[in-house]
């Protein structure tokens, strides 16, 4: 069972492209619907006809959500165009009136993943040509493979033909590529490579016609016999391989489809599309920055202010007030005859260069004319993460040039030894918020979606730079997560499957209460020690050390945790780590490697010991966008066998992060994070401690700044 805070945001977005140096910069929107053709999406939530696939791809980075229903089948699919020629999807399906193993009162729920690769792009003579894997690591209910081609033969008229195996080779097969191993729709979770492109093969195809910019008609011949649905379920009668349908494509790319399927069923679907490369409010709606103030040549050599403490105080106060109006806190300021170093907290801007640029502009207006170099040190939680060195003359001369021009003259260096002391009146700092929360639990076989809602009071006290006391208390007002059934049917210590016991014990919960210290033990090094009630299920102590040079795409880290299980009422009590299925080890931890692959792709590899004592590795891959969007997937494999792990075979999931500044158009550093895990078991489970270092410091480092430097002058 997976629980996380989430918010539904569906819109469209602005993006980064690779610069000549190979690093991503902001540019005007690359895609605006309907200027780039959006293909039809089929009932599986991928580019296709009615039920069959085509060889087409969605526009790069498109994110789609499709709900379709016909007969006894309902499918909900999330798809993502990972690369221009690679699209993937996660699907959750309901088969009604079924006697399949694992059904609940006749309803069978299924989870599946698909991948499609485009081998050829349509040209004057060649068609689009794609190869696809359907339900390749799920239960196998929809297991199939296919090779398909699509070609526009007249303007707006496209013909599709393909060959399928598995489900797509089950009707009127014309040959075989060997014996396909049987599949009993088991627990799923592993890729059965021996089944790929094996067994009977059959042909499918169809035609689509873009009658207008908004209306599309489709007809298809299906090679899917729907054997499981017709033999192990009631209410669906496949009378014909032919289906016809139509799409209405809205101006924003969303698609409403109606069809008559298999000679017996009327179906409908709706697909919502967005793209993290375009924005609902192009350019944003923040206030314009103040202009740079050029120095007066006759004042550049005047150093009289260096012997006037009162004037230095006035400079500090004026700069602090001006920055505060821009959502930036001036924490410290050192003034030398020709250099000024400002220690800042960026409270507002998702792109660090935007905060740097606005700070530099205001420094040009507030500081004495003799100062020729600005050093801006962004901090997070009282810890400096980098130092950005800007020559004042470059700032004055290049204000109206492209951001690339000043980027080539700026230095981003380590902040150790360059950070001014904090003003005496800056600490302690107290912050609090009271806000509603929404929590969900997905894929429970008894109820596919459970939700809770309520109010959460959060507070933090920054005692000194890098030393923070923080906590959160939630009051549940309603929902159904507490009705989930706890099952002790696990071969591992119940580190996560005991979540229902925590959900129903108390409506008032202490979500977390921690004392954390963040530090810079040396150049390129960052540290964290967190103690207290670390998350809803565990208390203890967590320590972390990160090596991350400011100019490197590579980061290396290590984390060690001591954990004790909290009482189920989520108060202040601690209970034994002994569970009915075994004892939870007190220590766990990982070593981690982080690497920016370029083109917006970022990887993380964690190797170590998990909460249940199993040992293995987690690989995460994200595609990240300059505006803060992130879409990725992770998989964990440990020394726990598929049988010991249980349903799902190994831990895996999808993560989506949607920045609020993208949705609202107003500056904000907040984001809504959504995690979709097909099944939550005890293998591969991690501690949910907050404030891990890499996510806190990377945005202020050179590789990340390069991606969003286009906002320096914004």
- Tens of pLDDT, residue by residue over 655-690, are 999 998 887 778 888 888 888 887 788 999 999 999
* 259-276 mean pLDDT: 94
CA-CA distance, 412 to 256, in Å (whole number)?
A: 49
Residue 314 CB partners (closer than 8 Å, separation 6+): none
Q: Name the CA dihedral angle for 183, 186, 191, 194, rounded to a multiple of 10 degrees.
A: -20
Q: Whole-number mean pLDDT of the chain? A: 89
CA-CA distance, 254 to 440, in Å (whole number)?
A: 26
Going by C-alpha positions, the residue among 325, 328, 321 that lies closest to residue 357 is 328
CA-CA distance, 10 to 23, in Å (whole number)?
A: 28
Fold of domain 297-425: GMP Synthetase; Chain A, domain 3 (3.30.300)
Q: What is the pLDDT of residue 5?
A: 36
Q: What is the pLDDT of residue 284?
A: 65
The pLDDT confidence band at residue 190, using thresholds 50, 70 and 90, is low
CA-CA distance, 689 to 666, in Å (whole number)?
A: 29
Going by C-alpha positions, the residue among 519, 538, 543, 536 that lies closest to residue 468 is 519
Write down the residue that tokens 């981003």 correspond to.
Answer: 412
Residue 663: CA count within 13 A, CB half-sphere: 14
Helix (H, G, I), strand (E, B) or coil at 272: strand
Cα-trace Rg, the chain: 28
As given in the structure block, the two tokens for residue 24 are 């991503």
CA-CA distance, 610 to 575, in Å (whole number)?
A: 19
Residue 354 CB partners (closer than 8 Å, separation 6+): 667, 708, 711, 712, 714
As given in the structure block, the two tokens for residue 604 are 């993380």
CA-CA distance, 597 to 590, in Å (whole number)?
A: 22
Q: Where are the domains of the chain?
A: 32-180+194-274, 297-425, 429-464+466-704
As given in the structure block, the two tokens for residue 356 are 């740097």
Q: Is the pLDDT of residue 419 over 90?
A: yes
Say what the pTM is. Answer: 0.88
Q: What is the per-residue DSSP string for 119-163?
A: EE---SSPPEEEEEEESSSS-STT-EEEEEEEEEEETTEEEEEEE
**Intrachain domains 32-180+194-274 and 297-425 with the same fold:** no
What are the start-end ranges of the H helices in 584-631? none
Report which secondary-structure segment, H or E, holds 663: helix 660-664
- Residues counted in the chain: 714
| Whether 471 contacts 459, CB under 8 Å | yes
Q: What is the pLDDT of residue 630?
A: 92
In the chain, the largest separation of any two C-alpha atoms, in whole Å, equals 94
Fold of domain 32-180+194-274: Porin (2.40.160)
Q: What is the pLDDT of residue 216?
A: 97
Tens-digit pLDDT profile for residues 137-146: 877 889 999 9
Tens-digit pLDDT profile for residues 695-711: 999 999 999 999 999 99
Q: What is the pLDDT of residue 161?
A: 97
- Four-residue CA torsion sign, 314, 320, 323, 324: negative
| Whether 77 contacts 66, CB under 8 Å | yes
Write down the residue that tokens 């995460």 correspond to.
Answer: 620
């Amino acid at each position: 069972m997976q629980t996380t805070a989430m918010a539904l945001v569906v819109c469209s977005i602005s993006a980064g492209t690779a610069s000549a140096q190979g690093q991503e910069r902001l540019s005007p929107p690359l895609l605006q619907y309907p200027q780039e053709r959006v293909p039809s999406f089929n009932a599986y939530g991928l580019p296709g006809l009615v039920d069959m696939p085509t060889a087409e791809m969605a526009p790069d980075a498109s994110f789609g959500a499709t709900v379709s229903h016909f007969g006894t089948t309902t499918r909900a699919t999330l798809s993502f165009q990972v690369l221009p020629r690679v699209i993937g999807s996660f699907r959750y399906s309901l088969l009604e009136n079924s006697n399949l193993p694992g059904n609940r009162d006749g309803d069978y729920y299924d989870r599946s993943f698909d991948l499609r690769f485009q081998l050829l792009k349509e040209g004057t003579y060649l068609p689009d040509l794609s190869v696809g894997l359907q339900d390749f690591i799920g239960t196998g209910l929809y297991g199939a493979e296919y090779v398909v081609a699509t070609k526009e033969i007249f303007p707006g008229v496209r013909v599709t033909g393909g060959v399928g195996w598995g489900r797509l080779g089950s009707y009127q097969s014309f040959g075989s590529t060997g014996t396909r191993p049987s599949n009993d729709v088991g627990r799923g979770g592993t890729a059965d490579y021996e089944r790929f492109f094996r067994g009977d093969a059959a042909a499918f195809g169809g035609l689509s016609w873009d009658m207008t910019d908004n209306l599309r008609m489709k007809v298809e011949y299906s090679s899917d016999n729907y054997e499981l649905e017709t033999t192990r379920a009631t209410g669906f009668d496949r009378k014909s391989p032919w289906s016809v349908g139509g799409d209405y494509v809205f101006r924003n790319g969303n698609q409403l489809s109606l069809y008559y399927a298999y000679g017996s069923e009327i179906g409908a679907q709706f697909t919502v599309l967005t793209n993290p490369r375009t924005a609902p409010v192009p350019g944003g709606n923040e206030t314009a920055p103040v202009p740079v103030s050029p120095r007066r040549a006759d004042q550049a050599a005047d150093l009289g202010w260096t012997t006037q403490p009162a004037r230095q105080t006035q400079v500090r106060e004026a700069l602090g007030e001006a920055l505060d109006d821009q959502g930036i806190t001036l924490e410290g300021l050192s003034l030398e005859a020709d250099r000024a170093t400002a220690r800042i907290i960026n409270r507002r801007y998702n792109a660090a260069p935007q905060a740097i640029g606005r700070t530099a502009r205001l420094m040009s207006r507030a500081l004495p004319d003799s100062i020729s170099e600005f050093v801006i040190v962004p901090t997070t939680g009282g810890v400096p993460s980098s130092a950005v060195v800007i020559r004042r003359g470059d700032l004055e001369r290049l204000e109206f040039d492209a951001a690339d021009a000043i980027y080539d003259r700026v230095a981003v260096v380590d902040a150790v030894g360059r950070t001014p002391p904090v003003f005496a009146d800056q600490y302690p700092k107290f912050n609090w918020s009271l806000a509603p929360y929404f929590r969900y639990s997905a894929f429970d076989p008894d109820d596919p979606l459970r939700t809770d809602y309520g109010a959460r009071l959060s507070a933090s006290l920054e005692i000194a730079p890098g030393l923070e006391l923080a906590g959160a208390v939630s009051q549940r007002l309603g929902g159904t997560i507490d009705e989930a059934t706890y099952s002790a049917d696990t071969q591992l210590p119940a580190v996560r499957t005991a979540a229902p016991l925590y959900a129903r014990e108390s409506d008032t919960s202490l979500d977390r209460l921690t004392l954390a210290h963040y530090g810079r033990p040396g150049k390129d090094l960052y540290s964290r020690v967190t103690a207290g009630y670390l998350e809803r299920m565990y208390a203890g102590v967590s320590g972390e050390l990160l090596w991350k040079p400011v100019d490197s795409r590579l980061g290396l880290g290590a984390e060690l945790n001591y954990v004790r299980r909290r009482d189920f009422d989520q108060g202040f009590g601690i209970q034994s780590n002994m569970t009915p299925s075994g004892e939870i080890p007190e220590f766990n931890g990982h070593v981690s490697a982080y690497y920016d692959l370029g083109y917006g792709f970022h990887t993380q590899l964690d190797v170590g010991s998990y909460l249940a004592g199993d040992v293995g590795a987690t690989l995460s891959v994200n595609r990240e966008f300059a505006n803060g969007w992130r879409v990725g997937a992770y998989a964990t494999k440990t020394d726990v066998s598929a049988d010991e792990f249980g349903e799902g075979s190994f831990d895996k999931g999808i993560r989506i992060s949607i920045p609020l500044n993208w949705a609202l158009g107003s500056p904000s550093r907040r984001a809504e994070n959504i995690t979709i895990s097909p099944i939550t078991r005890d293998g591969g489970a991690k501690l949910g401690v907050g404030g891990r270092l890499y996510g806190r410091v990377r945005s202020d480092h050179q590789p990340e700044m390069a991606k969003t430097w286009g906002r320096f002058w914004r």
